[in-house]
Amino acid sequence: MKAVEFHLPQDVDKSFIVFRETGDFFPAPWHYHVHYEFVLVTKSTGRRMVGDHIGYFGEEDLVFMGSVLPHVWVNDPIYLERRADHKADALVLHFTDDFLGEDFMNIPEIENFKKVLKLAERGMALRGETRTKINALIKQMPEMNGLQRLSSLFLIFDIMSNTTEYDLLASPRFIQNFHYGSSDRFKKITGYIMQNFDKDISLAEVASVSSMGVTAFCNFFKEQFRVTFVEYLTTVRIGHACKLLSQNDRKVVEVAYECGFTNLANFNRQFKKLKSMTPSDYRRTLNI
């Protein structure tokens, strides 16, 4: 699937975009844009694809996505066939990182939120109280005046900066330019993983690349990447597997070995754990 680049219209008297998407179904194809985006579904059900992640959405589903991350929301057949007794409905919020000026993201007050924007490169499905609070704010935004909308957006930034109630969606492998900051250590670690994920990588090897001992490396990795090295490596491999499954008809076992798994059973187990479906089901879903 080739993603379409969208260029979104914006009112000259507004610094960011809030709009309601209503119709028999959500019409946007597989696409991307430079804007950061919140998508709040108020009515409808279906599948959403964010990068190489396939999930399901229903009412009150809330996702935050980074710039140029491909995505699509596909309604269930009852909507596509116009058999639902109500319209599909969603509220969408877009902004760019310079929507308040080129230096906005460099002010100290926004520092914690910049970390959230890095996580959003993979897409974030919000849950719990975080989702409830942000949904309430977004629902009120269409009726707000300019300063009220801006104030509510800052409240959302603050909520996002202080929550752990989210699930990351797309895999690191899918985000080819994905990295956590600009330090040489980060670049060396992620670069080494991306170049060698299809091989057997030991902790000692990757620790030496970062000029750290194994214990120090494990602690550093978990603190900065929020997952263990093994968990991160698995998501990279599964992300590459998703790419291969979508591009060709190679056997699943061939895909598994090409992604660095040494046995099919473990590949199937890890794939289902991360994607909530088997590799074969994933391929069938893409074909649909």
Instruction: Find tokens 């991307």 and name the residue.
Output: 32
CA 223 – CA 62 distance, rounded (Å): 26
pLDDT for 236 equals: 85
Tell which wins on pLDDT, 30 or 50. 50
In this predicted model, what pLDDT tens digit does every residue of 228-269 receive, in sequence order?
A: 899 889 988 888 888 788 776 789 999 999 999 999 999 999
CA 63 – CA 40 distance, rounded (Å): 7
DSSP of the chain: -PPEEP-----TT-SSEEEEEEESS----SEE-SSEEEEEEEE--EEEEETTEEEEE-TT-EEEE-TT--EEEEE-HHHHTT--SS-EEEEEEEE-TTTT-TTGGGSGGGHHHHHHHHHGGG-EEE-HHHHHHHHHHHHHGGGS-HHHHHHHHHHHHHHHHT---EEE-S-TTTSTT--SSS-HHHHHHHHHHHHHTTS---HHHHHHHTT--HHHHHHHHHHHHSS-HHHHHHHHHHHHHHHHHHH----HHHHHHHTT-S-HHHHHHHHHHHHSS-HHHHHHHHH-
Tell me how crowded residue 256 is: count the other CB atoms within 10 A of its CB.
23
pLDDT for 10 equals: 62
Residue pair 197/237 in contact by the 8 Å Cβ criterion: yes
Label residue 178 by pLDDT band (50, 70, 90).
Answer: very low
* End-to-end Cα spacing for the chain: 12
| Average pLDDT of span 114-134 | 95
Q: Is the predicted pLDDT of residue 104 greater than 90, yes or no?
A: no
In this predicted model, what pLDDT tens digit does every residue of 83-94 receive, in sequence order?
A: 999 999 999 999
pLDDT for 181 equals: 40
CA 20 – CA 35 distance, rounded (Å): 16
Instruction: Find tokens 């194809």 and name the residue.
Output: 29
| Average pLDDT of span 43-55 | 89
Label residue 193 by pLDDT band (50, 70, 90).
Answer: confident
